[in-house]
Amino acid sequence: MRLLYGWILFSISVFAILAGGVFLALVLGAACFMGGKEFIDMARKKGINPSSRIVLGMIVAFFVVAGLPALPPSVLGWQIPDSFSINHFPLLMTVGIFISFFRLLFRDQERPATIADIASTIMGFIYVGWLPSHLVLLRNLAPSGMPFTDNPLQQPGLAYVWATIFIIFSTDVFAYYVGKKIGKTLLYPQISPKKTLEGSIGGFVAAMIFSLVIPYLADHYLFACHPFRFNLWQAPLMGAVVSVAAQLGDLCESLMKRDAGIKDSGDTIPGHGGFLDRGDSLIIGSAVAYYWVYIVVLGNI
């Protein structure tokens, strides 16, 4: 059962990444919507009561804004620029924070909202909405002035996402196997009693290797648009930054689960736990990868 669901998730993920655009926003948004429910359940196990409507509504809003530039001009009558999403995220974040305070201030319950209720509401849509929605932005990212193409194998955003995915997943996989084989020094036993320093280093080294291989293949063989601009010296730096972010994301989710007294964030995916369990490294890692590519690779300041 675990293997079956693993292959189903893998197939859907690969197709969504290849398709990109609105389809990726829908698939990833649906996964994060379920992850938002898991986050709310974790908070309530601690006696904290975030607003589920605001958390889930804001998660949907972030993915709608992230996916809007991918809509064809025939839908709205004009083409939304690629910069629309990142330019409007601060406004959306501000609106979310405002309504979190006002909704919880006038919550129709016997017990008034607490600081923890408000803070967990805001944290919920930032953690499960704003951060992972950067993967959609990354998939749609392209150098300024580059003409649009329907061929996904010539869309630079696909190369950026594949590089990010390989860095993050190689970190996870090799950290697990290296830690299992030779791990002796516990990395952070108060939070995750099974993670080891040796495993963390093994995952980091693997990420560095893949961060060199994927951009090299993308620029020289796979993408005529040369998405990484032959700046191979930047690749290991990206691998290092994203790998560290992925490992911190894993530890952060472990911290929340331990605080809530649970082993898995949910049981939505048979044999795999919850959506947060499967995507914990990707949540922070994808946001870091987006800003790395946007600022360093493409030179946007």
Whole-number pLDDT of residue 58: 98
The pLDDT value given to residue 233: 94
pTM, whole model, 2 decimals? 0.94
Read off the tokens for 213: 């291989």
Would you say the C-alpha torsion 174, 178, 180, 185 has a positive or negative sign?
negative
How many Å is the Cα radius of gyration of the chain? 20
The predicted-structure confidence for 81-120, as pLDDT tens digits, reads as follows: 888 999 999 999 999 999 998 877 777 666 778 899 999 9
Tens digit of each residue's pLDDT (9 = 90 or more) over 196-219: 999 999 999 999 999 999 999 999
Confidence band (pLDDT; 50, 70, 90) for 156? very high
- Nearest C-alpha neighbor of 157 from the set 233, 69, 245: 69
| CA angle in degrees (0–180, nearest 5) for 45-28-202 | 80
Closest CA to 192 of 283, 285, 281: 281
Q: Please say if the pLDDT value at position 145 is more than 80.
A: no
Task: Work out the mean pLDDT of the chain and round it to a whole number.
Answer: 91
Strand-pair partners of 273: 269
* Residue 284: per-residue pLDDT: 96
d(Cα 129, Cα 127) in Å, to the nearest integer? Answer: 6
- Label residue 152 exposed, middle or buried (CB < 10 Å: 0-12, 13-18, 19+): middle
pLDDT per residue over 277-286, tens digit each?
989 999 999 9
- Spell out the domain ranges in the chain: 1-140, 150-301
